[in-house]
Amino acid sequence: MTPIRIRRLLLALGLGFSALGAVAQSPSAPDAKALKFIVPFPPGSGTDTSARYYARKVTELTGQSVVVENKPGANGFIAVRAVLGAPADGTTVFVGSNSTLAVNAALFKQLPYDPVADFSPLSMLMRAPALMIAPPQLPQANLQEFIQAARAKPADFSYGSGSAGYQLMAELFNDSARTQIMGVPFKGASEAVTAVASGTVQLAFAEMTSAQELVKSGRIRALAVASDKRSGVLPQVPTASEAGLPGFTAYSWVAAAVNSRTPKEETDKLAALFTRIANLPETRDFYERIGAEVMRGGPQEMRAFQQDEIRLWKRIAAQAKVEQQ
């Protein structure tokens, strides 16, 4: 076929030579491998929200497609197993939290994975203060009254936890408030929040990112925010210190990692991409809107932070006399 006839055929199909070249050079061309983000919690959690935001930005910046897979339950073990069982080629990213990357090390005698040795860190993503939430029909008007009632009749109170992190936050609360509220485990934070809304449990710790709209709508009550300052998205909610529990703070955080067997070249590429996204003004604005903040830090900073967190939560578990599972 002559060049003239080829040109006419392309024009008939609505394509010019420049368009054809664009298709060949597109980063989203079929030969580009899709990334997979594995999340250990259900849709709607703060970890899931971060994963989906970063997935969207990766596609916008590179043209590479990203699939977010939620694998909740079993304290994050299901998701971890999926990541460590996938090919270590840089196409599977674990978007985990303080629970899976730090707190589990304090709660379990024998973890089926090593949160440090089995993962190569990519980047910190965000952190958010925990909300202490209760049913809207709770008779106690504030945190002080809640603590007094829980001390007087501990059998009437229980807390829900959707992850190891929230369990330890609640046990830290028990220790700080001198209460003995029993825990009820759930598959994820959203289930624990639903249990609070229905009155099945009387207390839970929840991420600001996932619970703020339920507070605004009146479906749940916020007794306090566990941070050193009030949140800009729920300014009417007092800090724990203001509400009568001096010095009590608790944060959840999200970070990204890959299988430690992943080639360094692939790990470095992903780390640079995640850092690029973290530094976008849009990322800062996104997290501020949902009551969180960007955590900047590449692989080295994330590793140091993770190890500090493991030591912190082990100390808290010992202090609160939490029996290892």
**Residues 133, 239: one domain?**
yes
**Residues 227, 134: one domain?**
yes
CB 259 within 8 A of CB 119: yes
Q: What is the pLDDT of residue 32?
A: 63
DSSP letter string, 94-134: EEEEHIIIIIHHHH-SS-SS-TTTTEEEEEEEEEEEEEEEE
Q: What is the pLDDT of residue 22?
A: 35
- Give the pLDDT of the chain (325 residues) as one tens digit per residue: 444 443 443 334 344 333 333 333 333 333 368 999 999 998 988 899 999 999 999 999 999 999 999 999 888 999 999 999 999 999 999 999 999 999 999 999 899 999 999 999 999 999 999 999 999 999 999 999 999 999 999 999 999 998 888 889 999 999 999 999 999 998 888 899 999 999 999 999 998 887 899 999 999 999 999 999 999 999 999 999 999 999 999 999 999 999 999 999 999 999 999 999 999 999 999 999 999 999 989 999 999 999 999 998 998 888 777 878 8
Residue 8 covered by a domain: yes
In the chain, how many domains are there?
A: 3
**Residues 146, 196: one domain?**
yes
Give CA–CA dist 170/255, Å, rounded.
22
Kindly state the helix (H) or strand (E) to which residue 185 belongs, with its residue range. strand 182-185
Residue 139 covered by a domain: yes
**Residues 40, 93: one domain?**
yes
Q: Examine the fold and report which residue of 202, 219, 243 is the final residue of a domain before the chain moves on.
A: 243
Which residues span the domain enclosing 175? 129-243
Cα-Cα end-to-end distance for the chain: 72
Q: What are the pLDDT digits (tens) for 280-316?
A: 999 999 999 999 999 989 999 999 999 999 998 998 8
**Residues 239, 176: one domain?**
yes
Q: Strands 92-97 and 182-185: what pairing?
A: unpaired
- Structure token digits, residue 60: 């916008």
The CATH code of the domain that includes 89 is 3.40.190.150
**Residues 222, 267: one domain?**
no
**Residues 80, 107: one domain?**
yes
Residue 307 covered by a domain: yes
**Residues 204, 278: one domain?**
no
Phi/psi at 299 (nearest 5 deg)?
A: -55, -45
**Residues 195, 239: one domain?**
yes
Give the ranges where 237-325 is alpha helix by DSSP (H). Answer: 240-243, 264-278, 281-289, 299-319
Q: What is the pLDDT of residue 302?
A: 97
Give CA–CA dist 122/64, Å, rounded.
18
Give CA–CA dist 226/41, Å, rounded.
22
CB 95 within 8 A of CB 274: no
- Give the start-end residues of each E strand in the chain: 35-39, 66-70, 92-97, 119-134, 158-161, 182-185, 203-207, 221-225, 251-259, 293-294
**Residues 52, 122: one domain?**
yes
**Residue that is written with structure tokens 């054809």 in the block:** 20
CB 231 within 8 A of CB 127: no
The CATH code of the domain that includes 203 is 3.40.190.10
**Residues 145, 122: one domain?**
no
Residue 20 covered by a domain: yes
Q: What is the pLDDT of residue 324?
A: 82
Q: What is the pLDDT of residue 24?
A: 34
Query: Residue 158: left (phi > 0), alpha (psi -120 to 50), or beta?
Result: beta
CB 122 within 8 A of CB 115: no
**Residues 158, 222: one domain?**
yes
Residue 51 covered by a domain: yes
Residue 324 covered by a domain: no
* Encoded amino acid at 163, one letter: S
CB 203 within 8 A of CB 160: yes
Q: What are the pLDDT digits (tens) for 56-92?
A: 999 999 999 999 999 998 889 999 999 999 999 999 9
Q: What three-state secondary structure class fits 208?
A: helix
Q: What is the pLDDT of residue 18?
A: 35
Residue 268 covered by a domain: yes
Count Cα atoms within 13 angstroms, Cβ side, for 249: 11
Residue 248 covered by a domain: no
Q: Examine the fold and report which residue of 195, 220, 243 is the final residue of a domain before the chain moves on.
A: 243
